[in-house]
Amino acid sequence: MLLMCAVIFGFMWLNKPSEAQLAEQRRIQDSIAQVEAQAQKLDATQGDVDTLTTTEVAQLREIMAAMPAESQKIENNEVKLALTDGQLTGTIVAGDTTVNIDEATANTSANPKAHNLAVAAVKRALEVYAKNGSFAGALSGTEQIIKLENDSLAIELSTKGGIISRASLKGYKAFNAPQVEVFTPGENMYGFTLSNNSQRFDTRNFFFTPRQINDSTVLMQIDLGNGASWGLQYTLVPGSYMVRMQMVQQGMTQVIPLNINTVDFDWTQKMSRHEEGKMFEERNSAIYYKYSGASGDVEYTKENGDDDKEIKDKLKWISTKNQFFSAVLIADSVMSGAQLTSREIQKETPDYEKYLKQLTIHTTMPYASDKAQPASFYFYLGPNRYKVLSSYDKYSPAEDLKLTRLIPLGWKLFRWINTGVIIPVFNWLGTFLSNYGIIILILTIIIKLVLSPLTYKTYISQAKMRFLKPDIEAINAKYPNQEDAIKRQQKTMELYSQAGASPFGGCLPMLLQMPILIAMFTFFPSCIELRGQSFLWAQDLSAPDKIVSWTGQIPFITNYFGNHISLFCLLMTATNIIYTWLTMQSQQSSQQMPGMKWMMYLMPLMFLVFFNNYASGLSYYYFISLLITIAQTYSSRLLVSEEKVRATIAANRAKPKKKSGFMARLEEAQRQQQEALRQQQKKGGKRR
């Protein structure tokens, strides 16, 4: 019996349905239940006749009577009703049939199915309009577009939602469009949500009435009746990328009580691509935000992968930022915290090639229903150009907006080098040169000239080490054993001291140059001035200069290397290998680290992988810089002769040596270490 039970239970366990099978069974059962429910609903519509109650009809009349006289209507895709001379008129779409409102309010019908569908549609519309109270009259309408433009920016205002539906930047082309659009209809939506004690009014659902005030100002307004109105007034600032947005209202205490002191703001954006190189543009796209206050920092969501942030502190501005362009909402007062969501577009979706990320912003702002202008903002819709962004601090006299932080220029030291030196020189060269390839060349020469004193010290040290190489090899040959390591080190250090050389003599000058090299690494990929600028074979100095491309993906490599080969990056790599060879010739061979040479030659190949997908202007800069460095290396050999170094060694040997306290302590430590080693070897010999 026990064996039988074990077999039965084992059989049941082995044949139990998997999670996928259970899920499929649940899906089938849910489908059956849904079909049965639909059948029951269909049977109900075929039999009993539903109708609008007297209370519901009265509510319809009340809602429309509260609307402005010229727009006493309830309209959506199914229902088109109006209040004309106190009479309720209109029609309802019920499947393939159109039902008159008088038929829908009757107790009998020749077509019960259509009748009941019409009644259900009216009840749905009644529920929506009842929730929107005084704003219900703005739920229906026809979308209109009003255009404003200046020399830099062209915007389109939509009456649906009262928003900026399109913002086009003049003078900037996208890789797939004649103009860059920071806002595009259907891809960008924002709105305010006002609340009273029982209702919420989302302005994205309403149709506004446009009122053109002048050539640069338009008021989008909703008439709420009884002298109450609410709207958004837009003013395009002449000659700039700034749009002034002001919330304007009157009589709103009838709709929003005074105890309500906040308004919600929601902004969603499907960020479009503007550059041909999607990979790098996506890595530089995120939501940026600045904490309120003169010392408020600028932070951002993760640029790689999905991210969610909940911010509880007050903010001054929030931005949707990609590689070269940004949309920034700047509050006159503050924003009280925010919930930010950033989602990558998945590769398997049809939107992958067109968009970068899906961004969502929710924040809360101060509000008062008794103020004529309870909230005001600026919308910056423009390029991430340092000179332009730095000029907009005047829009907030109380604090530094730090809009230039939208440009990633590296950590504090590197950013200071870029903003204090590189960008001013770059812009100065741009005032009288139009070819940015030539500007990069001249900028490189200037940087090398400034660094030449440090470079000279490095070359002198390398030259001395090269001349001492035979002497060092002779010392290594004389003391080849491991037990002679201390003696070998002493003789080597003595040789360095006599020649006035050091194996680390070139490290400090090289270390002092590193901040500039890193600063340039952050500057070029963020420099919008290079965007669309061609030089030699490179069509765009802000993008890779592809000479060979393919569609396949290389595992673990494509994410960095891309699916192309960049010529400037190849030239930089070849030049780097040559420079590495020259450097290795001036250094002593290392018996302790035989793999060092292999590692030194591997580094340029690693740079090829990582730099291949970067801006061609960056690879071009490093290529030119390395060429100049090689030329300086060869010229340094004319400045330092072997005879002069050996004469210096001979002169130093002839001089009486006065040991410093440090050298005396170092030699004593080495002597003690050598003595300890001898004692250890002696004890080992006795044990044997």
Average pLDDT over every residue of 663-680? 64
| Six-digit token string for 160 | 């649906």
Domain-embedded: residue 655: no
Are 362 and 473 contained in the same domain? no
Q: Does residue 686 lie within any of the structural domains?
A: no
Quick check: is 137 in a domain? no
User: Is 114 contained in some domain?
Assistant: yes
- My answer on whether 346 and 446 are in the same domain is no
Average pLDDT, the chain: 80
CB neighbours (10 Å) of residue 404?
22
Task: Read off the pLDDT of residues 268-300 as tens digits, 9 standing for 90 and up.
Answer: 999 998 888 777 788 889 999 999 887 788 899
Q: Among the three residues 107, 131, 155, which one is the final residue of a domain in this structure?
A: 131
Task: Verify that 244 and 308 share a domain, yes or no.
Answer: yes
**C-alpha 343: how far from chain center:** 11
Q: 443 and 567 share a domain? A: yes
Q: Which residue has the higher pLDDT, 410 or 9?
A: 410
How confident is the model at residue 167, as a pLDDT? 94
- The number of domains in the chain is 3
Both 104 and 182 in a single domain? no
Does residue 11 lie in a domain region? no
Are residues 576 and 601 located together in one domain of the fold? yes
Instruction: Tell me whether residue 5 is in a domain.
Output: no
Asked whether residue 667 carries a pLDDT value surpassing 70, the answer given is: no
Q: How far apart are CA 62 and CA 353, in angstroms?
A: 50
Work out the average pLDDT over 501-506: 61
Which residue segment(s) compose the domain that 92 sits in? 54-131
Cβ 52 vs Cβ 115: under 8 Å: no
261 and 390 assigned to the same domain: yes
| Amino acid (one-letter) located at 368 | A
Residues 121 and 151 in one domain: no
pLDDT (tens digit, 9 = 90+) per residue, 127-157? Answer: 777 777 777 778 878 889 999 999 999 999 9
| 156-174 average pLDDT score | 92
Asked if residue 169 belongs to a domain, the reply is: yes
CA–CA dist 146, 210 (Å, integer): 8
The reply to whether 174 and 62 lie within a common domain is no
Q: Are 276 and 356 in contact (CB under 8 A)?
A: no
| Domain co-membership, 321 together with 257 | yes
Residue pLDDT, tens place only, 394-445 = 777 778 888 989 998 888 888 898 888 889 999 899 888 889 899 999 998 8
Let me know the angle formed at the C-alpha of 551 by 549 and 557, rounded to the nearest 5 degrees: 80
End position of a domain, from candidates 349, 380, 408: 408
Higher-confidence residue: 655 or 111?
111
Contacts 24+ apart (CB under 8 A), 75-80: 75/139, 75/140, 76/125, 76/128, 76/139, 76/140, 78/121, 78/124, 78/125, 79/121, 79/122, 79/125
Same domain, 302 and 449: no
Query: Using CA atoms, how far apart are residues 319 and 401, in angstroms rounded to an integer?
Result: 12
Structure tokens given for 203? 């302005």
408, 440, 459 - which closes a domain? 408
Is 256 a domain residue? yes
Here the CATH number for the domain that contains residue 222 is 2.70.98.90
Q: Is the pLDDT of residue 372 over 60?
A: yes
Helix (H, G, I), strand (E, B), or coil: what is residue 171? coil
pLDDT digits (tens, 9 = 90+) for 516-525: 888 888 888 8
Distance CA 117, CA 123 (A): 10
From the number of C-beta atoms within 10 Å of its C-beta (0-12, 13-18, 19+), residue 545 rates as: buried
Q: What is the pLDDT of residue 590?
A: 44
Does 601 lie in the same domain as 500? yes
Given its phi and psi angles, is residue 85 left (phi above 0), alpha (psi -120 to 50 degrees) or beta?
A: left
Task: Report, as an integer, the average pLDDT of 349-354.
Answer: 84
pLDDT in tens, 18-66: 665 566 566 656 665 665 555 445 444 445 677 777 887 887 777 777 7
Alpha-carbon span 314 to 98, nearest angstrom: 53
How far, CA to CA in Å, does 493 sit from each of 1, 69, 123, 223, 680?
89, 99, 95, 89, 25
Q: Percent of the chain beyond pLDDT 70?
A: 76
